[in-house]
Structure 1
Amino acid sequence: MTRLLVLLVLITLPARAASAPGAGVVARLTHADAGRGLARPELVRRMAHRSRARLRRRLLSTTDAHPDPTAARARVRSGLGGGGGGSIVTNEYLVHLSVGTPPRPVALTLDTGSDLVWTQCAPCRDCFDQALPLLDPAASSTHSALPCDAPRCRALPFASCGGGGGNRSCVYAYHYGDKSLTVGQLATDRFTFGPPDDGGDNAPESRRSLTFGCGHFNKGVFQANETGIAGFGRGQLSLPSQLNVTSFSYCFTSMFESTSSFVTLGGAPAAALHSHAHVVGEFRSTPLLRNPSQPSLYFLSLKAISVGSTRVPVPEHRLRSAAPTTIIDSGASITTLPEDVYEAVKAAFVAQVGMPPLAGAGGAGAVEGSALDLCFALPVTAALLRRWGRRPAVAVPALTLHLEGADWELPRASYVKCATVTVER
């Protein structure tokens, strides 16, 4: 039986990696809900909805890769309640680039779980609505369709020859686990990378000729704030692979902030990094592993979980196996665990908080309509302090992930939020 444990890196974590000098580019990142003026409870609800959608896509992808009906059947929990629904964007962070000559803007979902870089192109026969104008390959002097005998065309799982005579171009069909797909023409064009919003000379524009999918038929779970997807996986067609860099780093801003951040691929100038990032505290690293059954994904070795000073009693085989089963996924914000592991972590957390969970329709600790699974009612004195603008002292136990070579104590704000305060009279 194959199980996939999805570790969806929390949005407040700035991830960083070393890289070879002299080969880097920088691009601007924005959160999907940045600048929408939404209240905090609504932002949390939307985050939870996106994480559910991402989890469904990931589990379906795993099932597709393993026809065995027992594969990826292990039930998982992520601390998500029953709230959510409605029209909610399903991407998490967008990479802002320009394509073509002259350059035209695109906004691509950053996806460490796939390889292809693609955007919608004119003429669009059946496409989702997008806020930015469609990319028109005919308007770019540097656009070139890739021939179907090109090695990068053969690198795609589903590709064929289109056109007639001597102009036989590479036509691709790229599927995602949730049945979303893009169909179009594989091409090369000039990509323009630039610094974050403040600009300046620290991170000048970089232009690279890259292979990408010019999508003419795109269906599925896509939203108007994106134009396509930037695959950051390990495959030959991913953005890091095409840039020939061995590492990339990103700073993810909180969903409660409207500011943008950046992603760096390879050895960007040191001044650019230092002007946009500030790393504090002890620096530790854990190796990124490979799993032959999912060669494009980035796996970690998660050995155990602690709540406070107590190591959660989880059977070792639930987190560890012959092949790594924990992945980093940029497309969601909620950490997802096998159900029995989640319940053990939840029980240890409840025991140490020292307050009774709220009872609701979703089960012990869940509140009807809430996006999250576990909620507590603060004592009246703490609620009054909060109402008066003072932060109440609540004992929140530390939550630590024990990785290979590193113990990662998560910031409290990454797993505990004050949703609302109600004072009964």
Structure 2
Amino acid sequence: MDTASSLVWYPCALNKLPYAEPTNMSIFDPGLSSSAKVLGCTNPKCGWLANPNVNDRCQGCQTNKNNCNQPCPPYFYMNGYASSIGVFFSESLRFTNKAVMNDFVIGCSNTTSIWPAGVSGFGRGPGSLPAQMGIKKFSYCLVSHAFDDKAKSSELVLHTGPNTDENDITLQYTPFHRITEASFSVLNEYYYLSLEKISVGGVDVNVPSKYLVPESNGNGGLVVDSSSMLTYMDKAVYDMVSQQFEMLKNPEYARAPADMEDEWGLKPCFIVPSKNPMDFPELTLHFEGGAEMEISMMEYFSYSDDQDLACMSLVTSDSGDAGNAVGPSIVFGNYQQQDLYLEFDLENERLGFRDQTC
């Protein structure tokens, strides 16, 4: 599940295409489905995920006639270090309650750099699973990464019934922000949130508002991304937050040598004697509307018993942004979403959250 993209795709067997890669993973074979059919380039749904201009995506066809047999152009999907190439199909979904949804658009990936079981895009685009199914609300709670090697799943709930604007008293809410003049189309798929401030150990970090509040072009603000592991911050924000940690940390914790930080790929890192429990100031995100999310110490610091080393589990780009970064300033990753119940209320345009053991 990926809240930062809007393509639903699966590893696929397409024998007529030359790029299919061998894998032991179960794959979708459209040739075995009586309802699967290649999506045509003149189909309006092709414009959801390809070029929205029908004349551009169906070059060589007379799009005003019904004799164009060109398929929807292939897609190229990237997510971090993973990439996938494939074609669009229209398929029927059959649910356990025997309900059937026809003409659901899926990506049939015949080439990927990494072979996951597939990705269900839950972003804000029209091709996402929630948009195609007409879902008004979805929620999930990610189990701790401590269970990564165990057969333990996180819970995802799709709310298909009537929605209300009533508040769940157990949740804190903050509104989503729509991007109206996105500098890149992908920014339209993100769930943007606005921050009032960031605090460390109860002390406000002096982060300029241009990083906290999303602009109409999609620059600034925070987006929730279930597929990114660690939370990313623009270098300017990251530097201010990490400096605040260093000032407020336990004075007994010495900064780790640079070679140890390089080995971990995280910084700052500190030497924390194993005989004592970790003691770091809390990190709090203060959202628009007064909602406050306190990130527990175990979710923003990683600890190694072998080395008595604790490293801040936030990342940035070493290249810096010089105040000219494009896109969100903070990408809230799944490591910081552990044991956090998140409710995406699409009808009321808001995110609800609470601490919860998942």
What's the TM-score, normalizing by structure 1? 0.58
Superposed, 1:4-153 pairs within 5 Å as 110-124=1-15, 125-153=18-46
Q: Distance in 2 between matches of 1:116 and 1:412?
A: 34
1:245 correspondence with 2:128 = no
Contact 1:130–1:227 (8 Å) recurs in 2: no
Matched with 1:334 is 230
TM-score (norm 2): 0.68
What is the number of equivalent residue pairs in this alignment?
277
Question: Pairwise mapping of residues 282-361 of structure 1 onto structure 2 (< 5 A)?
Answer: 282-292=170-180, 293=182, 294-320=187-213, 322-323=215-216, 325=220, 326-354=222-250, 355-361=252-258
Cα gap change, 1:302 to 1:309, in 2 (>3 Å): same
User: Could you tell which deviates more after superposition, 309-318 or 145-154?
Assistant: 145-154
Contact 2:84 2:109 in 1 (8 A): no
Runs of 5+ consecutive residues of structure 2 not aligned to the other structure:
52-56, 163-167, 309-358
Conserved in 1, the CA contact under 8 Å of 2:42 and 2:68?
no
Higher strand residue share: 2
CA–CA distance in structure 2, aligned partners of residues 264 and 193 of structure 1:
14
Secondary structure in structure 2 of the residue aligned to 1:408: strand
CA contact (8 A) 1:358 1:367 kept: no
Percent identity over the alignment is: 29
User: After superposition, where does 1:218-233 map in structure 2 within 5 Å?
Assistant: 218-219=111-112, 221-223=113-115, 226-233=116-123
Shift of 1:244: 0.7
Q: Is the 1:245–1:266 Cα contact (8 Å) retained in structure 2?
A: yes
Higher relative contact order (CA 8 A, sep 6+): 1
Q: Which amino acid aligns with 1:343?
A: D
Superposed CA deviations along residues 135-172 of structure 1, whole A, max 9, x for unmatched, are 22121122233333221123332444899x96825333
**For the residues of structure 2 that align with 1:129 and 1:135, how far apart are their CA atoms?**
13
- Equivalent residue for 1:212, pick from 102, 106, 110: 106
The Cα RMSD (Å) is: 3.2
Q: 1:316 to 1:156 in 2, by over 3 A?
A: closer
Give the counterpart letter for 2:10 in structure 1: T
Structure 2: distance between partners of 1:167 and 1:316:
50
Amino acid at match of 2:34: S
Change (3 A) 1:149 1:372: same
| 8 Å CA contact retained: 1:248, 1:266 | yes
Q: Distance in 2 between matches of 1:247 and 1:291?
A: 20
- Which residue, 399, 404, 407 being the options, matches 2:283? 399
